[in-house]
Amino acid sequence: MKILAIKFNLLGDVVMMTPALRALRARFPQAELHALVAENAAPLLANIPWLDKVWALPRKRGEAQWRKILPIVTALRREKFDRSVDFAGNDRGALLSLMAGARKRIGVRADKGFFGRRWCYHQAIVPLRRNCYEALRDLHVLKTWGVPQIDAEHLEIAADSQLAKRAAELLPAGAVLCHISASQPKKEWPLTLWRELAAGVAAHGQRLYFVAGVNERERENLRALREMASAEFLPPLTELNLLLAVIKRAGVFVSGDTGPLHFAVALGVPTVSLFAASRANRWAPLTVNHVVIEGKKCKCSPHAHTCGARRPCMSTISPAHVLKKIRRTLTVNGEKA
C-alpha cells in the first residue's frame, strides 16, 4: 500500500501534521508513507526516519508555476497511490489530491473554494472546531480510516546532523535563544521588553542570543533591537535546515506564536512561549517541558495583522515573569540558571 499525505500551509502547520503522520504509520506499518508539502516546508520532514519520501512542490505567492509542477504531478501519478489525505483543505491541496489520482481520497470540507472542489475527494471530512489543538484537527480527519487517535502533543521533526558543526559555530550549547518575530506583527513581543529580558538574563550569568525571520521587516526589528540591547545576535538564517540545527542546541527557546516555536517543540527543545494575540488552546505546546505565558485576552479580530488595542495585548506579559520561567526551565532541564 502507498499513502500520500498532503498539507499546503504555513511552516508551523506542517510541523503540527507530524502526529497524524505518525498515526498513519502506526495504522499502516507496512505501507509506503509519502508527504507532499510546499518546497520551503520540505526540510521540516526530510530527516524523519519513518517517512519514506517527502515531495517538495514549488510555490510562489501569486504564481501557479505549472511548468515546474506538472512534472511532479506526473511522477506522483506513476506512484499509483492507494490512498491520499489532504489535511489543509485549501484549493491547492484539493487540486493536487485529484491530480495525484489516489484510489481513495479524503480531505477537509471547506465552506469556500472553487466550484467543483468537493469532487476532488471521494470523501470530504467535516473538520473539528477551530478552538481545539491544531494537531487534533489533523488526527480527526483520519478517523474515517480507523486510524488511532494517538498523543497529539508529540510533535516530531529532526535536524540534519551534517549541519551540527556549522550550528555549533553560531550558538553555544545550552544558551537561551529568543526568536523575536512572527508573520503577524500583533504576535510579537515589544522590542523594549526583549531588551529588559536580555538585561535580566545577563544579570544571572546566562548567555542569551536573539534571532529573527528573514524578511525585511523582521530583519529591521532585529537591527533595531541590536541598537537597544546588550546581547548576542545571530545573522539571518536563510536556510531552514541550518535554523533547525541551531535551535536544536538551545537550552531553552523563547518566542511568541510563530513557526520556529513549533520547530523547537518538535526538536525536543524546552520552550517558553508568549501568547496573547492568538489562541493558546489551539497553538501552544502541551507537554511538561514547555511553559506557556498568556497575556490579557486580545479583542482584535483573529484575521487582523496588527493589534488595534491602546495597549497591545502582547505588552501585558512582563519581562520579570518571562525571566522567572526561563530560569526555572533551565534548572529543571539540568542547565545552570
pLDDT at residue 317, as a whole number = 97
Residue 138 DSSP class: H
> Range with the lowest mean pLDDT among 48-57, 173-182, 252-261, 285-294?
285-294
Distance of CA 319 to the CA centre of its chain: 24
Confidence bin at 336 (pLDDT 50/70/90): very low
Task: Decide if 141 contacts 125 (C-beta within 8 A).
Answer: yes
Confidence bin at 159 (pLDDT 50/70/90): very high
Mean pLDDT of 163-184: 96
Residue ranges of alpha helices (H) inside the chain are 11-16, 18-27, 42-45, 66-79, 91-100, 134-141, 164-170, 191-203, 216-228, 240-248, 259-266, 280-283, 319-332
Mean pLDDT of 121-129: 92
User: Measured between alpha carbons, how far is 329 from 337 in angstroms, rounded to an integer?
Assistant: 9
User: Measured between alpha carbons, how far is 15 from 13 in angstroms, rounded to an integer?
Assistant: 5
Reported as a single tens digit per residue, the pLDDT across 243-256 is: 999 999 999 999 99
pLDDT at residue 161, as a whole number = 95
User: Measured between alpha carbons, how far is 262 from 146 in angstroms, rounded to an integer?
Assistant: 27
Mean pLDDT of 157-167: 97
Q: Return mean pLDDT, the chain.
A: 92
Mean pLDDT of 29-36: 98
Q: Provide the percentage of residues in the chain whose pLDDT is more than 70.
A: 96
> Range with the lowest mean pLDDT among 63-77, 91-105, 268-282?
63-77
Q: Is the pLDDT of residue 319 over 90?
A: yes
Confidence bin at 148 (pLDDT 50/70/90): confident
User: Measured between alpha carbons, how far is 238 from 219 in angstroms, rounded to an integer?
Assistant: 11
Higher pLDDT, 287 or 103: 103
User: Measured between alpha carbons, how far is 254 from 256 in angstroms, rounded to an integer?
Assistant: 7
Q: Which residue has the cell 502526529?
A: 19
Q: Would you state the cell numbers that stand for residue 292, as one nine-digit string? A: 506557556
Q: Which residue has the cell 488595534?
A: 308
User: Measured between alpha carbons, how far is 34 from 165 in angstroms, rounded to an integer?
Assistant: 30
Mean pLDDT of 136-162: 93
Could you give the 3-state DSSP secondary structure of residue 34?
strand
pLDDT at residue 145, as a whole number = 96
Q: Is the pLDDT of residue 310 over 90?
A: no
2-145 with 161-332: one CATH topology?
yes
Task: Decide if 120 contacts 94 (C-beta within 8 A).
Answer: yes
Domain ranges, ordered by start, for the chain: 2-145, 161-332
The set of long-range contacts for 107-110, using a CB threshold of 8 Å and a minimum separation of 24, is 107/6, 107/141, 108/141
115, HSE (Cβ side, Cα atoms, 13 Å): 0
Confidence bin at 65 (pLDDT 50/70/90): confident
Mean pLDDT of 153-166: 96
pLDDT at residue 277, as a whole number = 87
Q: Is the pLDDT of residue 41 over 60?
A: yes
User: Measured between alpha carbons, how far is 46 from 240 in angstroms, rounded to an integer?
Assistant: 11
pLDDT at residue 337, as a whole number = 43
Question: Looking at domain 161-332, what is its CATH homologous superfamily?
Answer: Glycogen Phosphorylase B; (3.40.50.2000)
Reported as a single tens digit per residue, the pLDDT across 220-251 is: 999 999 999 999 999 999 999 999 999 999 99
CA distances to 39, 114, 222 from 59, rounded to whole Å, are 7, 19, 27
Question: Looking at domain 2-145, what is its CATH homologous superfamily?
Answer: Glycogen Phosphorylase B; (3.40.50.2000)
Q: Would you state the cell numbers that stand for residue 87, as one nine-digit string? A: 489535511
